[in-house]
Amino acid sequence: MSFFADKQALVTEILGRYPQGRERSAVMPLLREVQNAEGYVSEARVAEIAQIIGSTATEVKSVMSFYSTYSSVPTGKYHLQVCMTLSCALKGSDQMWDYLTDVLEINQAEVTPDGLFSLQKVECLGSCGTAPLMQVSDAGYYECLTKKRLDALLADMRARGDGSLPPSDTRAPIYFEPHPSSPAPVTSSEPGGTA
């Protein structure tokens, strides 16, 4: 069944954002519509988008593969994206990943039987100073993670169960020598601090 068949006004509005002859530029907002509605972009939706913008499925997939925000497989209500790039790796992201696969009993691109959680390894999330971290779904960054903080976050998400996110807890990096204008650093004495 088509996703966009009953959304012609939306398709027209999206295509209208770009000059005539540049319909291929609409690939990302069209992907976003599907990703938001269905949690992932299936082969059938890729083909549909390619047809709308006068492109090929291969080209649409090449855009998808560049951005971790699009998934080609179903995701859970809480899509946990763990940064595995250098700064996070040096701060234990491998161990964090192993811990998550153990407690959730799923692996890369899998969803827990209750549909709540899915896991994905991603490249640098752009917050290397607060490694290790993960992004949940399309929003929340959870930084300076430890087992203790992960357990608390997973318990919070389980209790919510509706995809709503625990409060953002963006943390200040720990500076060797705090700059006068820096926010107060997190210390191990704070609840949920380094454990």
> What track of x and - describes contact with ligand FES for positions 49 through 88 (by CB under 6 A)?
----------------------------------x-xxxx
What is the nearest approach in angstroms of ligand FES to the Cβ of residue 160? Answer: 25
HSE at residue 126, side-chain half, CA atoms within 13 A, is 2
HSE at residue 178, side-chain half, CA atoms within 13 A, is 11
Report yes or no: 143 and 130 within 8 Å, Cβ to Cβ. Answer: yes
Binder of ligand FES out of 41, 49, 125, 186 (CB under 6 A): 125
d(CA 59, CA 72): 14
d(CA 175, CA 140): 23
Report yes or no: 13 and 59 within 8 Å, Cβ to Cβ. Answer: no
Binder of ligand FES out of 10, 47, 124, 195 (CB under 6 A): 124
Minimum CB distance to ligand FES smaller for 118 or for 127: 127
Minimum CB distance to ligand FES smaller for 26 or for 82: 82
What is the nearest approach in angstroms of ligand FES to the Cβ of residue 154? Answer: 20
192: left (phi over 0), alpha (psi -120 to 50) or beta: left
What is the nearest approach in angstroms of ligand FES to the Cβ of residue 81? Answer: 11
Q: Which residues are near ligand FES by CB under 6 A?
A: 83, 85-88, 124-128, 131, 133
